[in-house]
Structure 1
Amino acid sequence: MRIVIIVSDFPKVTETFVLANALHYLDAGHDARIFHLKPFRTGEVIHGHAQRAIERGFTFGWLSFGGLMWALGRPRRLGRVVAQIVRGFAKEPKRLAASLAIVPKSCALARACARDGTGHIHAEFAGYPATSAWIAATLSGVPFSFSAHAHDIFLTQSLLAEKAQDARFVRVISRFNRDFLAALPSFPADRLEVLRCGVSLPEPTPTPSPATPWRLLFVGALLPRKGVEDLLEALSRLADLPIHLDVVGGGRLREGLEAMAQQMGLDVTFHGAQPSDAVRARMRDAHLVVVPSKQGDGGRSEGIPVVLMEAMSEARPVVASRLSGIPELVEDGVTGRLSGPGDPAALAGAIRAALTDWQGTLEMAQRGRARVAEHYDIQKNAAALLARIEEEAA
């Protein structure tokens, strides 16, 4: 069966689950393709094993006249989706313009799906990818579904209910997201299914023994909602503990964060973006992986960060924010430690507790790995999502 996966950006190193799902579908004998709304991203650091999925990416031009002409042959269907987009985003002109901008290439995708016998369309996000999938499915008659992760449902709820009503199912990655969507007016709660994201499970390696200094690790984009400035402030409150922090990731805040760390006299190394195998290696060398996320502008928020799943799959201790679906993975005092988002003092307390009760922290890390193995194994979860897609396409 041909399965079309829709994303906005491709490839994107922070969306490794997209490639993992595509590889699973390919290994299961399906013809998986990845349709990206924006131009192909050159310069992303992608591991070589994902090349098969990278080669399955494709897109169409923003002004796909052939697709529009084909769609005009189905005027009632095309008129319906355009009218619903206009009504849905009437009070959000920027999102209205962006949604209308993807109509031509979504029409081209619809034509391609109708002609090549595509069996199912799945959008990996509830925003523009789901809008594109909805347009293509409405015009072509191919069944579709979409996933809801994080800020794709928090930034705006416009048109979410309409898309869900036409979808075969809506996959949510956490109970938090399920409850959030189910509470929306007119949203069909019976379409919601919790199918978690996941990571690959490596062979276990010994956790580093207590050492001087303690090695802490942050992995992520250097953006305000990632909370790196809160982490630096927290470390300034832990001057009595010898700590070295490695920061892996790039972003517009790097220069300011480097200056902040230097001014505070902290022992921090900024490494920039690194490939996934290098990130995993740094996790194995770390005593503690810290994910101090907080809500960003306009409601941007984490779902369940991949970096947490990866660190816990390595049986590495974690400290994270009590935010969105994170507590479903990091249960405070059981599989890791939590602190309030945007609260450097609480974050410092959680880090101190983790380092001073090292034996208890190691026991939490082992329980964390067990939780990932049970609920966040990418092979199991990709297989579950594929089973639902196969069921709807049957």
Structure 2
Amino acid sequence: MKLAVIVTEFPKTTETFILRDLMVFLEAGVDLRLYHLAPWRNDQILHDFGAEAGRCARHVPLVSPRSLAALAAHPLTAARLAGSIALHQGREAKFAAKSLALLPAAMRLGQELRDWGADHIHAEFAGHPATAAWIAHRVSGVPYSISCRAHDIFRSQRLLEQKFADAALVRAVSTYASRFLAEHVPGIRQQDVAVIHSSVDVSAITPSAPPPPEDGFRILYVGSLQQRKGVDVLLKALAGFDRPGWQLDIVGDGPDRAKLEALSAQLGLNDRVHFLGQRPFGEIDGFYRAASVCVAPSIIGPNGRTEGIPNVMIEALAYARPAISTNVSGIPELIRPGETGWLTEPGDVAGLTAALTEVHDAPEAASKLAWKGRALVEREFDLRVNARRQLELFAAARKGQAPQGARTVTP
């Protein structure tokens, strides 16, 4: 299969879930091209395990002689697409402007994929990558699919109806997201959406017992430092956490780092909170194994920006580490209170402090939940099962046999 995958940015340190899928596609013998709409991100880490996918990456420049030539070669198609964007997305000027800016480059991409003989186009995220796939499809006739994750569908639903109508397959990473699409996008029924979770390579992670209590209580946060991640809530919760010997490792970076460091100092936590910046995945393995508990205190950020199901929580349970997160989006499909972990309400400082206290005070009970979480990840979040299912659906779309009415949930 000749498969083109479209992303907005590459590499992106936090998007290991995409990188892992790409590696399974390559292992399966797929002839892969990875197109990124923004220039190569030199400030991000390309994890060692994804080096081969990096060699397949190609930038799609927004303006070039070839893109302008593609625009000129398909004036009626360009006019129809521009009109549809203006009509359906025009009230959101910023989104519409970006979509229109993509038009020449995506039309050029369509020509390139047609000439290459592409079998399928897959857009990672329903925003700009899906817009590019939709336009490229209109030029090339190559079938395409869309993965819907979180803020790409929650922030705005304008133009989704048009992109979904032409797609051979719409995939969501949670049942919550499939239900949201059915409720907010005309023409989409919940059964039209294939639910395939983001996944981890379960076979590559050997779970182990957490460190003994005498080694201290180590709390781990892995992820970007921005408002929707709720790291400020975690810091405030720790200000009221009165158990001795704890420390917090924050692995990741982002626009809110300076604010969070200032908050940590203001709360008097600096001697226990360690901001460690971005790290390659090989190092993150060690942080998971040293952790007593992993926390993803997600909230609903500005303009509806929030999580799908945080990959770091899937990883935490794969390592059999106690996990605490929030009742946001699809997270309860993974973190199930009293079954696989602890779930608090977003922004609930006292609730998060209480959950941390429970894990600290009853480590054996916490470990039992973590092992149940590992079993859930093995059943529903296994990379090789879920990536192969995607490939099956791509192949079916190629043959015109992937009706949207066949909803698939991972076993």
Partner of 1:261: 264
Report the Cα distance in structure 2 between the residues aligned to 1:102 and 1:313, rounded to whole angstroms: 39
Partner of 1:29: 29
Report the Cα distance in structure 1 between the residues aligned to 2:72 and 2:261, rounded to whole angstroms: 54
Partner of 1:274: 279
Report the Cα distance in structure 1 between the residues aligned to 2:255 and 2:72, rounded to whole angstroms: 43
Determine helix, strand or coil for the equivalent of 1:211: helix
Which of 239, 242, 246 pairs up with 2:245? 242
Say whether the 8 Å CA contact 2:48–2:280 is kept in structure 1: no
Q: For structure 1, list consecutive stretches of 5 or more residues without a partner in the other structure.
A: none
Report the Cα distance in structure 1 between the residues aligned to 2:296 and 2:185, rounded to whole angstroms: 33
Q: For structure 2, list consecutive stretches of 5 or more residues without a partner in the other structure.
A: 400-411
Equivalent pairs counted in the alignment come to 394
Report the Cα distance in structure 2 between the residues aligned to 1:185 and 1:235, rounded to whole angstroms: 40
Report the Cα distance in structure 1 between the residues aligned to 2:72 and 2:384, rounded to whole angstroms: 41
Report the Cα distance in structure 1 between the residues aligned to 2:70 and 2:296, rounded to whole angstroms: 48
1:324 aligned onto 2:329:
yes
Partner of 1:303: 308
Partner of 1:138: 138
Say whether the 8 Å CA contact 2:243–2:357 is kept in structure 1: no
Which of 213, 216, 236 pairs up with 1:213? 216
Superimposed CA distance per residue, residues 122-159 of structure 1 (whole angstroms, 9 cap, x where no aligned partner) = 00100010000000001110000101000000111000
Report the Cα distance in structure 1 between the residues aligned to 2:185 and 2:145, rounded to whole angstroms: 20
Partner of 1:225: 228
Aligned positions of 1:102-181 closer than 5 A:
102-181=102-181
Determine helix, strand or coil for the equivalent of 2:213: coil
Report the Cα distance in structure 1 between the residues aligned to 2:22 and 2:214, rounded to whole angstroms: 41
Report the Cα distance in structure 2 between the residues aligned to 1:357 and 1:167, rounded to whole angstroms: 49
User: 1:268 deviation in Å?
Assistant: 1.1
Superimposed CA distance per residue, residues 324-349 of structure 1 (whole angstroms, 9 cap, x where no aligned partner) = 10000000110000101011111111
Report the Cα distance in structure 1 between the residues aligned to 2:43 and 2:345, rounded to whole angstroms: 35
User: 1:362 deviation in Å?
Assistant: 0.6
Q: What letter matches 2:349 in structure 1?
A: P
Higher relative contact order (CA 8 A, sep 6+): 2
Report the Cα distance in structure 2 between the residues aligned to 1:347 and 1:338, rounded to whole angstroms: 9
1:283 aligned onto 2:295:
no
User: 1:25 deviation in Å?
Assistant: 1.4
Identity %: 38
Superimposed CA distance per residue, residues 19-63 of structure 1 (whole angstroms, 9 cap, x where no aligned partner) = 212211111111111111110111322222211100101023211
Which of 335, 343, 362 pairs up with 1:338? 343
User: 1:86 deviation in Å?
Assistant: 0.8
Report the Cα distance in structure 1 between the residues aligned to 2:390 and 2:274, rounded to whole angstroms: 39
More displaced 10-residue stretch of structure 1: 172-181 or 379-388 = 379-388
User: 1:75 deviation in Å?
Assistant: 3.6
Determine helix, strand or coil for the equivalent of 2:194: strand
User: 1:304 deviation in Å?
Assistant: 0.6
Report the Cα distance in structure 2 between the residues aligned to 1:286 and 1:257, rounded to whole angstroms: 21
Partner of 1:350: 355
Determine helix, strand or coil for the equivalent of 2:279: coil
Say whether the 8 Å CA contact 2:13–2:47 is kept in structure 1: no
TM-score of the two chains, using structure 2 as the length reference: 0.93
Q: What letter matches 2:102 in structure 1?
A: I
Say whether the 8 Å CA contact 1:181–1:187 is kept in structure 2: no
Report the Cα distance in structure 2 between the residues aligned to 1:153 and 1:303, rounded to whole angstroms: 10
Say whether the 8 Å CA contact 2:172–2:195 is kept in structure 1: yes
Determine helix, strand or coil for the equivalent of 2:219: strand
1:14 aligned onto 2:9:
no
Partner of 1:59: 59
Determine helix, strand or coil for the equivalent of 1:368: helix
User: 1:242 deviation in Å?
Assistant: 3.0
Partner of 1:196: 197
Report the Cα distance in structure 2 between the residues aligned to 1:343 and 1:376, rounded to whole angstroms: 28
Superimposed CA distance per residue, residues 353-374 of structure 1 (whole angstroms, 9 cap, x where no aligned partner) = 1221221111000000011111
Say whether the 8 Å CA contact 1:37–1:59 is kept in structure 2: yes
